[in-house]
């Protein structure tokens, strides 16, 4: 029964840990793709150096614009080749059609109204052919992150309640052998806290062992499968290896594992104590 309880906690923590691991790597990949509000200004052909310098100064004069980076079409093609994993010796088809551009980095917490006005102003600039802001991508990123956060909380609540119920049944079977001992100890005047203590310690140890089992399994999977996936998808995702759980996530996993076991222990204790009084 001890092993059954530890295994149940381990599997539950493994499910939650897998979600947390995927969530952290999603955050890492999103950070690599710059999930902040940026803008791309596509330039017209044949602009001279003075025109580019004047345009850059004009863009920096807007309060919302924090940084301006000029990228000629050759650099754009090289970055696209690197993103696709192609060799630099290969000629990317259609690369001669890429326009020169300037990438804009905006200040944080820029009001949407200011960005709409800025986009309208830039579209009217003679040296600019097209303007593209990343507000759609940023909006989708925030929606996905909020959805994953909600799924995480629902998963935590479901696992804690479901696992606690299963553990309570396992512990109930195991603790039936102590029913007479509990009755004798209570008859001689033992406090309820004294009788509850062994239940709590069992739950604490089982919760820690179950969480450690889950984290060990996740580490093994991270070493065995994560590096393979990262190597094969490195050019697309931009990461060399999957990241493991953060310290905050490790502490959360331990806390969840202990909580599952303690809730099951407390439920069994009160149920057993209630039967003994009746």
- Residues 110 and 65: their CA atoms lie apart, in Å, by 9
pTM: 0.55
Residue 254 has pLDDT above 80, yes or no: yes
SS3 category, 127 = coil
In this prediction, residue 236 has a pLDDT band, given cuts at 50, 70 and 90, of very low
Mean pLDDT of the chain: 76
Residue 38 · residue 134 · CB < 8 Å = yes
Higher pLDDT, 177 or 59: 59
Residue 24 · residue 70 · CB < 8 Å = no
Residue 94 has pLDDT above 50, yes or no: no
- Residues 243 and 169: their CA atoms lie apart, in Å, by 36
How do the domains of the chain map onto residue ranges?
2-33+139-277, 38-133
Higher pLDDT, 139 or 111: 111
Residue 238 · residue 29 · CB < 8 Å = yes
Provide the token pair at 61: 């004069």
pLDDT of residue 32: 61
pLDDT of residue 104: 87
**DSSP bridge pairs for 104:** 39, 68
Level-2 CATH architecture, domain 38-133: 2-Layer Sandwich (3.30)
């Amino acid at each position: 029964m001890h092993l059954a309880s530890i295994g149940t906690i381990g599997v539950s923590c493994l499910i939650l840990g897998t979600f947390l691991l995927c969530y952290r790597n999603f955050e890492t990949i999103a950070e690599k793709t710059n999930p902040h509000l940026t803008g791309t200004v596509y330039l017209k052909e044949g602009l001279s150096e003075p025109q580019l310098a004047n345009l850059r100064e004009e863009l920096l004069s807007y309060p919302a614009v924090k940084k301006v980076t000029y990228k000629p079409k050759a650099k754009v093609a090289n970055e696209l080749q690197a993103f696709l994993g192609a060799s630099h010796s290969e000629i990317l088809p259609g690369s001669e059609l890429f326009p020169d551009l300037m990438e804009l980095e905006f200040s944080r917490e820029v009001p949407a109204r200011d960005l709409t006005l800025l986009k309208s102003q830039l579209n009217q600039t003679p040296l600019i052919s097209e303007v593209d802001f990343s507000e759609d991508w940023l909006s989708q990123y925030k929606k996905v992150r909020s959805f994953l956060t909600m799924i995480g909380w629902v998963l935590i609540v479901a696992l804690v309640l479901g696992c606690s119920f299963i553990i309570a049944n396992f512990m109930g079977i195991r603790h039936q052998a102590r029913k007479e001992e509990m009755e004798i100890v209570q008859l001689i005047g033992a406090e309820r806290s004294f009788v509850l203590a062994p239940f709590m310690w069992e739950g604490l140890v089982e919760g820690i062992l179950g969480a450690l089992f889950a984290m060990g399994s996740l580490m093994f999977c991270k070493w065995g499968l994560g590096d393979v996936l990262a190597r094969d998808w490195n050019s697309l995702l931009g990461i060399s290896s999957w990241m493991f759980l953060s310290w905050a996530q490790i502490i959360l996993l331990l806390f969840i594992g202990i909580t599952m076991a303690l809730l099951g222990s407390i439920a069994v204790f009160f149920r057993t104590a209630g039967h003994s009084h009746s």
